[in-house]
């Protein structure tokens, strides 16, 4: 017997209900018929897929393997069928029905998903997180993702070696995350030269914030200690515990007890970009997604009133850095 998608649906139904009897009811089959079908599937695959007793059916190691594949294949086939039906019916070729978005942290993905869900309630939207731009770019190139939303430090865009189109969502000065009772917290912006003795921490990732910090500090006569890298939660914990001062984006919302302030003169800038393959079907919907991303980015940025005030008054950070975006 050759394994078919309907067999994978049987395996998933048993795993989801935890019972052959309940799965038979869900699938509209008689329980003996489903049991016989399961036995044929198990013979084809070479072993039992479930341990069955009075408490129900629990996947074996082989069953978990089959389930992991089935949970990828079945939604993919459903997406293929839906997309084929839309195209056969002469639907809008410019509108995607599936959005697979990868991201290296950042503030805009959740809001993009929210907007897409409202604009296209029937669209299939999935997200994938990674610390590394190279991983996400590779997944877009391989067709495993439609879009990659990443951040990079400075004026450069991500590497062109993957053949992706990269467009800027927004670019702003890097801010400092510090306790609200820190001496520098009372200022609208922070003078880097006055923080030469601090230990610094930044979020992990492929955007190069930690690597760019030392060269950007040199003109101020500052030689900072090595920038620690960790996840966002631990960055916040280190700042709260007084172990380090953080580097963050102005869109980051500090928890109670912490504040963010831009570095005076904007020695570091953070660029949020969206990437896609120019020959993919996703490229047709890229302008619409870019509009969503840029709009929500500005909405999120506007919540940081001290930063907005600084942009309106600081001649170095407030005007020139935005003009380069």
Q: 50 with 129, same domain?
A: no
**165-173 β-sheet, strand order:** 124-129, 98-103, 147-153, 269-276, 165-173
Q: 128-137 pLDDT, tens per residue?
A: 988 888 889 8
Q: 83 with 193, same domain?
A: no
Q: Among 39, 66, 88, give the residue marking a domain's end.
A: 88
Q: 241-282 pLDDT, tens per residue?
A: 999 988 888 888 889 999 998 888 778 888 889 999 998 888
pTM over 0.85: no
Domains identified in the chain, total number: 2
Q: Among 88, 106, 141, give the residue marking a domain's end.
A: 88
What is the mean pLDDT of the segment spanning 176-181? 92
CA 279 and chain centroid, separation: 22
Neighbours of 254 (CB within 10 A): 19
Show the domain range for 260.
Answer: 98-325
321: pLDDT strictly greater than 70: no
Return phi, psi of residue 252, to 5°.
-75, 130
Residue 231 lies in a domain: yes
Residue 310 lies in a domain: yes
Separation between Cα atoms, residue 69 and residue 56, nearest integer Å: 22
Residue 93 lies in a domain: no
Q: 312 with 207, same domain?
A: yes
Q: Among 42, 58, 88, give the residue marking a domain's end.
A: 88
State which H helix or E strand residue 59 sits in: strand 56-59
Separation between Cα atoms, residue 153 and residue 209, nearest integer Å: 5
26 close to 98: Cβ distance less than 8 angstroms? no
Q: Which string of b and e fits 47-59 if b means at least 16 CB within 10 Å?
A: eebbeeeeeebeb
In DSSP terms, which residues pair with 313 in a beta bridge? none
State which H helix or E strand residue 176 sits in: strand 175-179
Most distant pair of Cα atoms in the chain: their distance: 79
What's the CATH code of the domain at 135?
3.40.190.290
Q: 78-87 pLDDT, tens per residue?
A: 777 766 665 5
């Amino acid at each position: 017997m050759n394994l078919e998608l309907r067999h994978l649906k049987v395996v998933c139904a048993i795993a989801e209900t935890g019972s052959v009897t309940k799965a038979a009811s869900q699938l509209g089959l008689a329980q003996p018929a489903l049991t016989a079908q399961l036995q044929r599937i198990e013979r084809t695959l070479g072993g039992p897929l479930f341990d069955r007793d009075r408490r129900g059916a629990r996947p074996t190691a082989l069953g978990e393997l089959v389930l992991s594949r089935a949970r990828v294949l079945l939604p993919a086939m459903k997406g293929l069928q839906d997309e084929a039906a839309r195209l056969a019916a002469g639907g809008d070729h410019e509108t995607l029905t599936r959005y697979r978005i990868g991201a290296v942290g950042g503030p805009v993905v959740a809001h993009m998903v929210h907007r897409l869900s409202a604009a296209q309630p029937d669209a299939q939207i999935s997200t994938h997180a990674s610390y590394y731009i190279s991983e996400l770019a590779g997944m877009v190139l391989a067709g495993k993702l439609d879009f990659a939303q990443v951040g990079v430090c400075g004026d450069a865009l991500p590497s062109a070696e993957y053949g992706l189109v990269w467009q800027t969502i927004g670019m702003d000065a890097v801010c400092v995350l510090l306790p609200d009772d820190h001496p520098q917290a009372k200022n609208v912006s922070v003078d880097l030269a006055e923080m030469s003795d601090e230990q610094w921490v930044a979020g992990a990732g492929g955007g190069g914030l930690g690597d760019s910090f030392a060269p950007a500090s040199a003109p101020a006569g500052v030689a900072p200690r090595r920038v620690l890298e960790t996840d966002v939660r631990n960055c916040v914990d280190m700042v709260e515990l007084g172990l380090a001062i953080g580097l963050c984006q102005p869109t980051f919302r500090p928890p109670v007890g912490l504040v963010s302030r831009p570095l005076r003169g904007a020695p570091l800038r953070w660029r949020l970009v969206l990437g896609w393959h120019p020959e993919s079907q996703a490229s047709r919907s890229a302008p619409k997604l870019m509009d969503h991303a840029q709009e929500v980015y500005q909405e999120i940025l506007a919540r940081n009133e001290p930063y907005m005030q600084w942009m309106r008054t600081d001649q170095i950070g407030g005007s020139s850095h935005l003009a380069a975006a």
